Amino acid sequence: MNSQTPKQYLKIGSMTILEHTLQKLLSHPRIGKIIVAIHAQDHLFATLPIATHPQIHVVKGGSTRADSVLAGLRVLNDEQWALVHDAARPCVDHNDINRLINTVVETQQGAILATRISDTVKRAYQTNDNVIESSEDRTYLWGAATPQLFKVGELKSCLQIALNNHVPITDEASAIEYAGGHPLLVECRRDNIKITHPEDLALASFYLTNQMQKGDICE
């Protein structure tokens, strides 16, 4: 993001990205507790007004995403179900969260929010990554998003297995997959973007404003 400030603390309007994300989760009636994994060197979170909200619990995060997720899962019961969400996705829609939860309740199987790939996908050469080797069939390709919803005990076990085997984990579903599982895909809105690049801030601001004007409520 070309900023010395961690991206979750960059502001959209009067609030940080993280505050927008937490507000969206806190306002969902089916989410009872939010666990925030904070890096040991992070002194900014405690300065946010939302940090003292009674539904928010803070744990010390790890050096990787998998380590931080594990830290959060360890304070939960293995039989519970946990939604894992990116701090940099403040535009997630309540109704998408509802459909994810409903899918898991009905099937008793872990699932993730995702979007179908609509762009033509090119594969570059490993030896020259700005030269096209081939085009990929996008028919069955999806872009993974969050939240991702899994039973706590299963996700803890799969993350630990992946870490023990030094397998890079980019999302929770990839840990489940590595252990042989097949999570379900629940299609979500395309405005559930992950803020990664500077231009994403303006886009997220537009989406949040549009959602507030329409009223992002559960139906």
User: Can you spell out the DSSP letters for the chain?
Assistant: ---SS-GGGSEETTEEHHHHHHHHHHT-TT---EEEEE-TT--SGGGSGGGG-TTEEEEE--SSHHHHHHHHHTTS-TTSEEEE--TT-TT--HHHHHHHHHHHHHH-S-EEEEEE--S-EEEEETTEEEEEEEEE--TT-EEEEEEEEEEHHHHHHHHHHHHHTT---SSHHHHHHHTT---EEEE--TT-----SHHHHHHHHHHHHHHHHH-----
Residues of the chain with pLDDT under 70: 1-2, 216-219
Predicted pLDDT of residue 214: 82
Note the pLDDT tens digit of each residue in 11-34: 999 999 999 999 999 999 999 999
Instruction: Return d(Cα 19, Cα 9) in angstroms, integer.
Output: 8
All structural domains of the chain: 7-214 (3.90.550.10)
Nearest to 51 by CA among 35, 72, 68: 35
CB 32 within 8 A of CB 101: no
Predicted pLDDT of residue 3: 73
Predicted pLDDT of residue 219: 43
Please, what's the largest Cα pairwise distance for the chain?
Answer: 53
Predicted pLDDT of residue 1: 66
Q: How far is CA 136 from CA 46, 118, 123, in A?
A: 45, 12, 7
Predicted pLDDT of residue 218: 45
Instruction: Return d(Cα 216, Cα 207) in angstroms, integer.
Output: 11
Predicted pLDDT of residue 2: 62
